[in-house]
Amino acid sequence: MNSMVLATLIGVFLIIFFIILKYLKLKCYKEIEAIYVKSNAYSSGTGGHGLVTQYAPVFKYNFNGKEYEKQTFQTFSKKYIKNLIVGEKYNILIDERKPSRFVINKKSRNDEILILLMGIFLIIAGIICMVNMYN
């Protein structure tokens, strides 16, 4: 029973995480030019596949007379980052109410959709197991 409840809770957490991520992206709608500065690398273990490294780009930009040099909360593959050139201008989307928060694009990526689907699957599996246990 504990594993069923845990699966359901993890499913709820994943769905909430997806919703928050989409909400933060929606708030970023003001398009401005920014200069690509660098990328910060983040590695994580993934089962039997070793380390997976994702990259978070850092941009410098001005908004309402204030200069920012910030990292996006989005992460990308090395293949994507290789296309960015240090010192070049790119369009980014900022949150006007919190200009330090920005995204490069609003499209849902495969890993984000996977998080949502895993959450839904875990909730359904937990509910089915609980129903079967009480029948």
Could you read off the pLDDT of 10-19 as tens digits, one per residue? 999 999 988 9
**Stretch 102-127: mean pLDDT, rounded?**
84
For 35-58, letters b (16+ CB in 10 Å) and e give ebbbbeeeeeeeeeeeeeebbbbb
**CATH for 29-105 (2.60.40, 2.10.110, 3.10.150, 2.40.50):** 2.40.50
Tokens of 123: 């909730």
Give the C-alpha separation, 9 to 65, whole Å.
Answer: 45
Q: Indicate whether 94 pLDDT > 90.
A: yes
Q: Where are the domains of the chain?
A: 1-27+107-135, 29-105
Q: What length does the chain have?
A: 135
Q: Work out the burial of residue 64: count CB atoms within 10 Å of its CB; fewer than 13 is exposed, 13-18 middle, 19 or more buried.
A: exposed
- What pLDDT is recorded for position 97? 94
Full-model pTM:
0.75
